[in-house]
Structure 1
């Protein structure tokens, strides 16, 4: 046996092992490394994760963390008033701040999560660096209006959906879902209720109908950044089981551009970065299980890109 060769081989192997241990993870980056943590807030009939495996924002938290972001995932009631959900979010922000020493957060809300994060910004503005909404229901939703008005038959929709909400609660382990009330949420998502809410929390509002709002607006003397995004496609992937439903609900809007549940104009709040992505309402959160349309932008990459925008704004 060549002892010298064996020793040299062992040394090389040891050095290689040490180098591998010291090297950063293959996908580690800093693109999304914001100054303040990011908080993802789900929308109507949403959840944080199912059985701890499938996130509402599918594969998005991981993509952000791989690029250096600190990410919290909020868990608020899936079917309640904006104020109710907002208070739940505020409590979680306070808990995270106390536990981890966080001073401010970058809030990102999808759908009803848009007004929800605005409530938090209006209630605890010192804790909020930025508010971003993806297909936020800022001016309400015609789908909610029509169901409440009885212009479309619900066929037991209320009872079935409420039962579904309780099932989500069981799967997520979130007892708050037991107090979910579908009609209460639909009222909150209606056009009249949105107008009342907007009067109470006007910071970041568009300066004209279907227009853009300011990039920065103060709340109680605290400067907060405001951004919004949305899609305007409906049926995007024939293999996606949710597309048929969104194609149906998208019909409520007539010729008005929408993502199946929220119109383009309703999504506007703060600086409207882009309002016509080739996504429907679930594509915007990379659901169902990443089944977006062919050629559409990667939703996970979109959230990383926006985090990079926040990073360069020193947020």
Structure 2
């Protein structure tokens, strides 16, 4: 697959390093830079709003080197993975590091796994946060209601692709390819199963089990939540409580099932967090569990592992 043809300066513009913060200590000072990869309909900073709300700055204040990346808001995991790989190459060139620690939220799970599979020598670890290892029943419902070749499918594709293009434009990365049907295919349970066949590292061999914690020299970790309404004042809580109906009572965070989020060494799968809480959205309103602290603790975990 051909990589997106970005010029070096244009590509560097898509990569955001956390604004310099005086490190209070070295608690999160990992050996390799931490690279954050967003999920579906994601961004790095768009219209002044950070996707990883408050997380990069906190990590940096505890000694970590942190980079946020920007790939197509809407596209297949393979296309997004190629875009992420090119940005990893740039980060390695900028920092002089030999490897990076990849952290992927939601669909970023598949993007980071793609990079680790095609370039394992450049990756020290992959961490999935509320990741789509097993796909999502929500995507299954949408795919079932808008089958390929139908007018409904054309409308859904146009709307989702258009929304992705708007997000890319607002984040300063207009021109990235957007494909609603491709992302829908990636996130269905069947699409995820196909992806897992091609990129099996860290995937649990049995449902709700843990996967290999190290493959080809790359460490694999995951964590996720199983709540939908966590604060009562977060406007996303109500929406996620509705999408949670697709899971028919099985534990989920509103968009991804607990067992479907597992990858590698499962740190924990039942935090009192919903799908957006795990990136500290909506603007840090996340209930009683502090997601920022989870990233800080994980950075220390990577540090202690020599990563």
Is the structural similarity TM-score above 0.5?
Answer: yes
Give the match for residue 181 of structure 1: 179
Q: CA RMSD in A?
A: 1.9
CA contact (8 A) 1:264 1:275 kept: yes
**Partner Cα separation in structure 1 for residue 225 and residue 181 of structure 2:** 26
> Which secondary structure does the structure 1 equivalent of 2:210 belong to?
coil
Give the match for residue 280 of structure 1: 274
Which of 1 and 2 has greater Rg? 1
* 1:248-285 Cα shifts (integer Å, max 9, x gaps): 11110011100000000110010011000000000000
Displacement of 1:242 after TM fit?
A: 1.2
**Partner Cα separation in structure 2 for residue 245 and residue 78 of structure 1:** 20
**Match for residue 290 of structure 2 among 294, 298, 303:** 298
Give the match for residue 29 of structure 1: 25
Unaligned runs of 5+ in 1: 1-24
Give the match for residue 50 of structure 1: 46
* 1:150-190 Cα shifts (integer Å, max 9, x gaps): 1899996544443332221221111244x212222111101
CA contact (8 A) 1:147 1:154 kept: no
> Which secondary structure does the structure 2 equivalent of 1:197 belong to?
helix
**Partner Cα separation in structure 2 for residue 122 and residue 111 of structure 1:** 18
CA contact (8 A) 2:23 2:63 kept: no
Give the match for residue 11 of structure 1: none
Change (3 A) 1:154 1:249: farther
Give the match for residue 165 of structure 1: 164
**Partner Cα separation in structure 2 for residue 171 and residue 279 of structure 1:** 27
Give the match for residue 311 of structure 1: 303
Displacement of 1:214 after TM fit?
A: 2.2
State how 1:197-208 maps to structure 2 within 5 Å. 197-208=195-206
**Partner Cα separation in structure 1 for residue 25 and residue 153 of structure 2:** 48
Give the match for residue 146 of structure 1: 141
Displacement of 1:33 after TM fit?
A: 0.1
> Which secondary structure does the structure 2 equivalent of 1:58 belong to?
coil
Give the match for residue 39 of structure 1: 35
**Equivalent residue pairs, number:** 283
Change (3 A) 1:26 1:104: closer
**Partner Cα separation in structure 1 for residue 123 and residue 158 of structure 2:** 37
Change (3 A) 1:123 1:33: same
**Partner Cα separation in structure 2 for residue 63 and residue 206 of structure 1:** 31
Give the match for residue 237 of structure 2: 243
> Which secondary structure does the structure 1 equivalent of 2:284 belong to?
coil
Give the alignment's TM-score, normalised by structure 2.
0.88
**Partner Cα separation in structure 1 for residue 110 and residue 175 of structure 2:** 19
CA contact (8 A) 2:241 2:254 kept: yes
Unaligned runs of 5+ in 2: 1-20
**Partner Cα separation in structure 2 for residue 210 and residue 134 of structure 1:** 16
Give the alignment's TM-score, normalised by structure 1.
0.86
